[in-house]
Copies of this chain bind each other. A is one copy, B any other.
Amino acid sequence: MPVTERAYHHGNLREALVDAGLRLLDEGGVEAVGIRSAARLVGVSHAAPARCFPTATSFLAAVAAVGYGRLAAALTEAVDAAEDTLSAFRAVGLAYVGFARREPNTFRMLTHPSLADKSRHPDLLEASNRAFDVLREAVLRAQDDGHVAPASPAALALTAWSTVHGISALIVDDQLAAKGYTGDPDDLADEVLATLFLGMRPVPGPPA
């Protein structure tokens, strides 16, 4: 028997269940991910997940934590690919929206109402904070280079996060046309980010 599979008596059941949860999420949306379905997919009894995940929401939290990890990776990649701190700041915003559009179900899982109280799920909180840190540090570096006003970095980062999250939510739920915007979602993301950057600029008015 191969050691890589069916070795659930050795601790990789949790990982296998999370993988199954991600597949369920991808295929059937947030509603489709449950411990019994995941157990069925893994090929284990319906009560086995209870050992790894004492409650159903703790399972959701584990799946969402992976989602935040993917988001953090996407943001990090965008920052690393940028040439200067200002374009990095811009890139991280676009990467956030791009991630939401690429993985809408994952994006929705991140704000699942059952996971609203993140203090109950330390791993999820940490994964969320790690993704946020990528954006926060991009703001900090742009601030160091004088591209962003010398205000509280925490507030600025929260502003940026709020903006990109909000516009992503609208785009993912197809609310643009209903709200009177008929153009390309990417163009809107550009416009929204431009407004954001304008508001975060250091001085009241640079030359042009």
Chain B contacts for A208, CB-based, 8 A: 204
A132 interfacial contact with B, CB 8 Å: yes
Residues on B with C-beta less than 8 A from A175 are 118, 128
Which residues of chain A in 157-208 are interfacial with respect to chain B, using CB atoms and an 8 Å cutoff?
A: 157-159, 161-167, 169-170, 172-176, 178-182, 188, 191-192, 195-201, 203-208
Distance of A167 Cα from B157 Cα, bound (Å): 11
| Contact status A180-B136, CB under 8 Å | yes
Distance from A89 Cβ to chain B, minimum over Cβ atoms (Å): 14
Known A179-B129, A199-B197, A200-B199; judge A113-B108 contact (CB<8 A): yes
A191 CB contact (under 8 Å) in B155, B164, B204, B206: B155
Chain A contact residue count (CB 8 A cutoff): 61
Q: Does A125 contact B (CB under 8 A)?
A: yes
Contact (Cβ within 8 A) B156 A195: yes
Docked Cα-Cα span, A198 to B197, in Å, equals: 10
Chain A interface residues toward B at CB < 8 A:
29-31, 108, 111-114, 116-119, 125, 128-129, 132, 136, 151-159, 161-167, 169-170, 172-176, 178-182, 188, 191-192, 195-201, 203-208
Other A-B contacts than A31-B113, A155-B192, A155-B195, 11 sampled, CB-CB below 8 A, are: A31-B114, A108-B113, A118-B178, A128-B178, A132-B179, A151-B195, A154-B182, A158-B176, A159-B195, A161-B170, A165-B166
